[in-house]
Amino acid sequence: MGTKRQHVVIIGGGFGGLNVARAVAGANVDVTMVDRTNHHLFQPLLYQVATGILPEGLIAPPIRRVVQSLPNTKVVLAEVHDIDLDRKLAIAKTPNQWTLELPYDFLVVAAGSTHSYFGKDAFAEFAPGMKTVDDARYQRDAILSKFEMAETATDPQERAEWLTFVVIGAGPTGVEVAGQIAELAHQVLPKDYSKVDTHGARILLLEGAPAVLPPFKPKLQQYTKDALEKLGVEIRVSTLAVHMDHESVTVKGPNGVETIRARSRIWAAGVQASPLAKMLAEKSGAETDRPGRIVVGPDCSLPGHPEVFAIGDMANVGGLPGVAQPAMQEGKYVGKLIKARMDGDTGAVPPFKYFDKGSMATIGHKYAVADAFGRNFTGIIAYLMWGFIHVLYLIGWGNRLGTIYTWMRALYVSKNRGHRVITFEQAQYRVEESSNSVRPSHYLASLQKSGEASAAAPPEQAPPATQQA
């Protein structure tokens, strides 16, 4: 093969991209990792940032620090907006709008996913999701601001609206968010307020399927339902969100249509692949599935382009779910495959095979479920398993020890959430978004990027949705 160093471009610094970089660290290649942020985000703990348990720094270390031990890897803060498969170029823009052309010998696209509103993108104005650090900080400000508004409200109906939180989607994220808001309202905040009884906060969890945690086994679903109800969460299954505005959400369930007055709505119902998946599919002739993921071959490569790989949440690799474990394993596999192809041993690596390590979800303090090692676990055992696994996958011992310390302080010693800082300006902005047509900046940016800003219907014109919540 000679001594010429080849160039590997990795789009995305998440679980998949990072594992590729690590896998090729000792190879005769130069690696460029391109990401829209400067940090590697541990998404499974975002909800704890949103509910004041953890600071974002513990779950989002700088990418440059993460890869500093990989001498052949450099990091670029930019957004890839085009890929020229014929010329083998990834084309990106920096924050100051400079254009970068990144030639590659191997390209790995691991750009992740974003929220899916099942064709009702106007819902994003009223029910933000949680996929990024900005999303989590936004939700934290919004949640805490609603308690402040309830403290000063004089009308009982208005106060009840400030204290009503609707979480749409009862997958792992929805269950975790609902459980933590319930603990915040019913266990952490009651002594902090003099006029409002936060015990009266109402937390509703909506799910279009017949049970919470649809992918889990019935025993774990039932345990989760019982634990959430014990925490004070109202669960509505077989229930769809069909309409919403800044002060309410209308649902359709077994008992018909109902409008719930609520100043807080959090979307946890679905995901959609990065727009790069659609672009790659159009250029390569590959198919996409319902969530927009590009369907790749058994070696994670694009049809007709063995040098281009798509992995993680934006890729359909044998129908695997878009969660952390497949992304990690796909990243390690692709890195190994690239090294083998550089050595000219194209048949050395068999097709990708996923090893299912199980799934877990936490519900609240000491409440969790786990499906692992062929067995089901609930309660404190599942909670400890969940905590161990999540700490293990954090980057850096400082972040691991910091997370353990913060958990011990917040959940056992002080029983307080130490990261509840908001300002007057933050509260004012979040409250305005709950009562008028002001749109979150990240919502406007996403619509402008997709060309849909002018097509978003106002709430009174939005037709009923038929999506699964």
Catalytic residue numbers read: 176
Considering only CA atoms, which of 165, 197, 190 is closest in space to residue 178?
Answer: 165
Considering only CA atoms, which of 104, 103, 123, 105 is closest in space to residue 115?
Answer: 123
Considering only CA atoms, which of 313, 317, 206 is closest in space to residue 252?
Answer: 206
Phi/psi at 371 (5° precision): -120, 100
Q: Report the sign of the C-alpha dihedral through residues 157, 159, 163, 169, in that order.
A: positive
Eight-class DSSP state of 121: G
Q: What does the alpha-carbon distance between residue 379 and residue 362 come to, in Å, rounded to a whole number?
A: 9
Instruction: Report long-range pairs for 3-6 (Cβ below 8 Å, ≥24 apart).
Output: 3/28, 5/29, 5/30, 6/30, 6/105, 6/106, 6/342
Phi/psi at 155 (5° precision): -90, 125
Residue 102 belongs to what H/E stretch?
A: strand 99-103
Q: Is 459 left (phi over 0), alpha (psi -120 to 50) or beta?
A: alpha
423: which residues sit within 8 A by CB, 6+ positions away? none
186 to 163, 183, 203, 217: CA distances (angstroms): 11, 5, 10, 29
Query: Quick one: three-class SS letters along 15-49?
Result: HHHHHHHHHCCCCCEEEEEEECCCECCCHHHHHHH
Given the DSSP bridges, would you call strands 73-77 and 79-84 parallel, antiparallel or unpaired?
unpaired
Q: Which residues are registered as beta bridge partners of 264?
A: 165
346 within 8 A of 336, measured Cβ to Cβ: no
Q: Which residues are registered as beta bridge partners of 39?
A: 62
- As a whole number of Å, the end-to-end CA separation of the chain is 53
Residue carrying structure tokens 């599942």: 382
